[in-house]
Chain A
Amino acid sequence: MIDIVLLTAALFFGVLTVYSRDNVYSAASLAAAAGSVALFFLYLTQFAAAFLLLVIYIGAVMLLVIMTAAMFNTAQRWSGRQLWATTIVFMAAVAIAVATFGHSQMTQLSVQVGDLTSVVVLLFAVAVVSLLVSTEIAKKT
């Protein structure tokens, strides 16, 4: 129960990081997402990893990110098309993740060689994402 709450909080703050307009709010929301993941490590009794995340990652990296975002005081200019595209990518990512990881209890690592369907789905997802990213980068220049 607690793990679902913590992971849902991490997902919520991560999505809020992408969607928020001001960079300072975005960085603070990202720090909250990292804190949720660190509390999830703490719930799994991985104390060394939780210590690394809570003290070093949030204390050093997130401090630097929030300070950088606050120093320049810029904001993301969303257009409507970009908002819709991000929403579609988010929905597709959720669908791919549920199709790939949702069907079985994972006792081993994520991809098993004998299961050909999940390998094909994962490769197709990587190909689609790399095509999308390369198209967006090519539009930028």
Chain B
Amino acid sequence: MMGYIVGFVLILLGIYSIATTRDLVRMLISLELVTVGGFAMFAAVSLSNPTLALYGVLILVMISVSEVAVLAALVYRNYLLTRRVDVSSIATGEP
């Protein structure tokens, strides 16, 4: 029961932090915070349905690996081109 509460709070904080920040690296970190909240909710699910929790964790790990790879590549490429890690540097394309 407390796993649901912790997971819900972490997911909401992560989504709000994605929405408010302008830093691309902080966006990546907040996305992973949402994933950690999902893991906490799956931990609470595993008390009643362990198979669902195992496959949920497996799929969530696969998703987070791919999205972290794509976002880290995006941040690095944007830094090489504009020397900044900011959302507005993606929009304008200029330093």
Q: Which residues of A contact B (CB under 8 A)?
A: 3-4, 7, 10-11, 14-15, 17-18, 23, 26-27, 30, 33-34, 37-38, 40-41, 44, 46, 48-49, 52-53, 56-57, 60-62, 64-65, 68-69, 71-72, 74, 76, 82, 85-86, 89-90, 93-94, 96-98, 100-102, 104-110, 129, 132-133, 136-137, 140-141
| Complex CA–CA separation, A94 to B64 (angstroms) | 25
The answer to whether B1 touches A76, judged by C-beta atoms less than 8 angstroms apart, is no
Contacts of A141 in B (CB 8 A): 91
Q: Tell me whether B77 is interfacial, beta carbon within 8 Å.
A: no
| Complex CA–CA separation, A9 to B90 (angstroms) | 36
The count of chain B contact residues (Cβ–Cβ below 8 Å) is 58
The answer to whether B48 touches A109, judged by C-beta atoms less than 8 angstroms apart, is yes
Q: Which residues of B contact A (CB under 8 A)?
A: 1-6, 8-10, 12-23, 25-26, 28-30, 32-33, 36-37, 39-50, 53-54, 57-58, 61, 64-65, 68-69, 72, 75-76, 79, 85, 87, 91
